[in-house]
Structure 1
Amino acid sequence: MESLTVRQAAEKWNLSPRTVQQLCTQGRIPGAQKFGKSWAIPADAEKPGDLRRTQHRENPAPAQSAPGRMLESGMLMPLMNTPFRPGHCRETAEAMAAGPQRDIALAEYHYFSGQSELAAREAEPYLTSSHMGAKLSACLIYAYANLPLGRIQQTRFALQELNAVLAAAEERSPQFQAASAFAAAAGAVLLHLPLPREMPDMQGFLPLLPPGPRAFALYVYAHFLYLQGEYGQSIGIVEAALAMGAEQYPIPAVYLHLVAVMDSMSLKQTERAKVHLLSAWDLARPDDLIEGFGEHHGLLGGMLESVIKPGWPEGFKRIIDITYRFSAGWRKVHNPVTGHDVADDLTTTEFAICMPAARGWTNEEIGKHMNISVNTVKRHLSSAMNKLGIDHRYNLKPYMLR
């Protein structure tokens, strides 16, 4: 993404460099990023309105603007919407303007780094905010942060709030509708739930989103296509999004790479899957953004066991801990709504082996992929089928993630 210096932005907007510097410090320029003592300002950023207004960093007044205005202020998942260098995620969140923007950004950081309790606590005050950008972000974070905590009622409440905002968005601005659709779709797709009936065409609202949420929305769309069995189309969208700049936004980029792993494994393209997994890991590891790996474990078809476990055993252990906690909450929401019976008593290794087995992989192919013997594959498959009460691998599919 092209950027401007403070001086270049000052010349473009006919302001003094000092005024532009203050606007950056106050968080009034969406996407502005501090590097050392300098600021990088998105080239397409608009000149902030009402320059007489000031923001008090210590005691900011509650936002009372109209929803359309709120969504212009960079409040929809502000950390997701900020390009930062790997290793500077928390620093980026803490540099944002005090008040809702920083609070939501820190909730994002804590969620994506596996600190669900902190994330839920930071998001909760904004669940009923009059500032709809903050509310949509808070509901999305709160819904997913409560899954690994076993607080299913809180998750359901937040998901219902997202759907209610979307249902009432028809009379609002197109940008408001796009933000509502983004949050509601993200709330449903990772849980593999049906999309809300009010959901507009995703390709229609994508251009109206800020660049970071737009990249994450492309992950959501690619994940949706994966669930429809459209693996080639899904990975095509992912790789196009990454080629067109989504890699600058580390949080969406991690999720895009992960869905590409899912697609590649479904296509039996293990080397392609490995490239995407390591790309996601390289982006995530410097900031410990490992939540997504735990969320997607079962869908990655043993790639974590094959690639991450040998090279980063401690990181793998933490991912598996996230997997167990997240999956327990995920099933409590997913299974009753869909009527599916995704397995809840398999070990992560059993699940990782059963996923490719359910897709027609042979024991030899699974063993080679996961660096284990054929006999070990057979033992885990036998244990899994005994737990599920089935007598043939062809019957595994109804119990796997879909």
Structure 2
Amino acid sequence: MKPQADLILTPGKRMQALCEARGISRKELANRLDIAPSQVSRILNEDTKSISSDILIKMATEFHVSTDYILGLEQKKQMERHIPMRLMSTSFKPGECLMLVNQLENPASREMAYCEYYYFTGQHDKAVNLTVLYLNHPDPMLRLSACLIHTFANLSLNRINAAKGGLRNLKIHLNQMIADNSDRRTTAMSIFVAMAAQTLLHLPVGKIPPLSDYLTELPKGMRLWGCYVLAHEAYLAQEYEKSLGIVQTCLMLSTEIYPIAMIYLNLMGAMDAMNLRQPDLARKYFMSAWQLAQPDGLIEGIGEHHGLLQGLIETCMKNDYPEDYKKIIQITYQFSYGWRRIHNPVTKEDIADNLTTTEFTIAMLANRGWTNTEIADYMTMTVRTVKQHLSSVFNKLNIDSRGQLKAYMLK
């Protein structure tokens, strides 16, 4: 419980009240926060003008309150309506991502845009450290944006309990917004976040109203990313033509460039084309995604989709962009490991977790019905090498035929 200090707006007095309510001395607080007692005294006596974000986070965690509560921000009744997922929602020229972020005047909007930038460039630690400050923010747009990024960034850092906690919070936010339903914009954002988590993690988040009914309530960039989610949903239902149709329609009708949303749409198009056995079209979509991602280093989405891209990262990047390829594969391993630790226990599926990226790619293609010769031509390797990789796959999965691969591969 929070102490009755809600009318005291200064952080030092709020922290003092929290200590008194719990019977914690300044020395004990210093030990718990792993800082010097003199530093605690300066904060509680208000001899310092600012408190570092690290101490704020530790204090909030220790007393199970929000950082906004400590800072007194929860009392603000009139608040600016923030744009959700600002970076995703905004059109900008590739290569000018950070310029856009730095030009944002509102500090909270700028920090949340940095959260997005850190996440989509694969800097997960930085993303988590910033999102923590906004998980309980009074503005629902900042709070939901932070919750989505926080969940996925922790997953890639193999902080599974934190990622699971983020999923629980998404469910709570969704249920609250649907029950209230007084603000369609906020409800739309809640549905967007829940649908994104459910579709990308292949996990049920709960009963979600149709995202298509609320797309017009979202900013255009988020609307495009929402269409990517709908296309991904069709892909998982093996409706590849429908999924590709959504992608093509969105890209044709867009008169401005929304790099983040369009990276994901093009990756979706590449995945659809691979499953329709059109590798040349798949390469075209993949390279469009890469051209949008490269100038700002927005490579997270490429790494996340490695298995579903079925070798496109290897065939399009390994030789021509070796350093970028290494970074993307690192993201792949991090995301895939965390994803399996959340996904497998819930679904009771046993998606392969001990294959190299090359082995996984070849296993995916074999599972899709590609012959060894077709795989060899596509991956620019010999048939003998393909057979060696498949033999290694069978040994690791303790199976002896292609027919048994289905249980271990992505759908």
- Fold shared, TM-score > 0.5 on shorter chain: yes
Maintained 8 Å contact 1:140/1:158? yes
5+ residue gaps, structure 2: 1-70
Deviation at 1:267, TM superposition (A): 0.6
Question: Over aligned residues, Cα RMSD in angstroms?
Answer: 1.7
Q: Distance in 2 between matches of 1:95 and 1:331?
A: 38
> For residue 84 of structure 1, what is the amino acid of its counterpart?
F
5+ residue gaps, structure 1: 1-58
Deviation at 1:196, TM superposition (A): 2.0
Candidates 135, 140, 146, aligned match of 1:138:
146
Maintained 8 Å contact 1:60/1:98? no
Q: Distance in 1 between matches of 2:142 and 2:154?
A: 18
Q: Percent sequence identity over matched residues?
A: 45
Equivalent position of 2:61 in the other structure: none
Q: Does residue 197 of structure 2 align to residue 192 of structure 1?
A: no
Q: Distance in 1 between matches of 2:381 and 2:82?
A: 48
Equivalent position of 2:185 in the other structure: 175
Residues 247, 325 of structure 1: alpha-carbon distance in 2 compared, 3 angstrom cutoff: farther
Candidates 361, 386, 393, aligned match of 2:370:
361
Deviation at 1:74, TM superposition (A): 3.9
Q: Distance in 2 between matches of 1:213 and 1:251?
A: 9
Q: How many residues align?
A: 339
Residues 370, 215 of structure 1: alpha-carbon distance in 2 compared, 3 angstrom cutoff: same
Equivalent position of 1:221 in the other structure: 230
* CA radius of gyration, larger in: 2
Deviations 1:327-375 (A, max 9, x none): 1101011111111110000000000111111011111111111111111
> For residue 266 of structure 2, what is the amino acid of its counterpart?
H
Q: Distance in 2 between matches of 1:222 and 1:81?
A: 18
SS of structure 2 residue aligned to 1:311: coil
Maintained 8 Å contact 1:189/1:195? no
Residues 97, 254 of structure 1: alpha-carbon distance in 2 compared, 3 angstrom cutoff: same
Deviation at 1:246, TM superposition (A): 7.4
Maintained 8 Å contact 1:63/1:130? no
- Ranges of 4+ aligned residues in structure 1 off by more than 3 Å: 59-66
Residues 125, 193 of structure 1: alpha-carbon distance in 2 compared, 3 angstrom cutoff: same
Deviations 1:263-291 (A, max 9, x none): 11111110110000000000000000111
Equivalent position of 2:66 in the other structure: none
Deviation at 1:75, TM superposition (A): 2.6
Residues 63, 306 of structure 1: alpha-carbon distance in 2 compared, 3 angstrom cutoff: farther
Equivalent position of 2:284 in the other structure: 275
Deviation at 1:100, TM superposition (A): 1.6
Residues 110, 265 of structure 1: alpha-carbon distance in 2 compared, 3 angstrom cutoff: same
Q: Distance in 1 between matches of 2:168 and 2:341?
A: 16
Maintained 8 Å contact 1:110/1:116? yes
Which deviates more, 238-247 or 293-302? Answer: 238-247
1:11-22 equivalent positions in 2, closer than 5 A: none
Residues 83, 74 of structure 1: alpha-carbon distance in 2 compared, 3 angstrom cutoff: farther
Deviation at 1:194, TM superposition (A): 2.4
Q: Distance in 2 between matches of 1:146 and 1:194?
A: 19
Maintained 8 Å contact 2:310/2:364? yes
Which deviates more, 169-178 or 312-321? Answer: 169-178
Residues 246, 295 of structure 1: alpha-carbon distance in 2 compared, 3 angstrom cutoff: farther
Candidates 124, 130, 151, aligned match of 2:132:
124
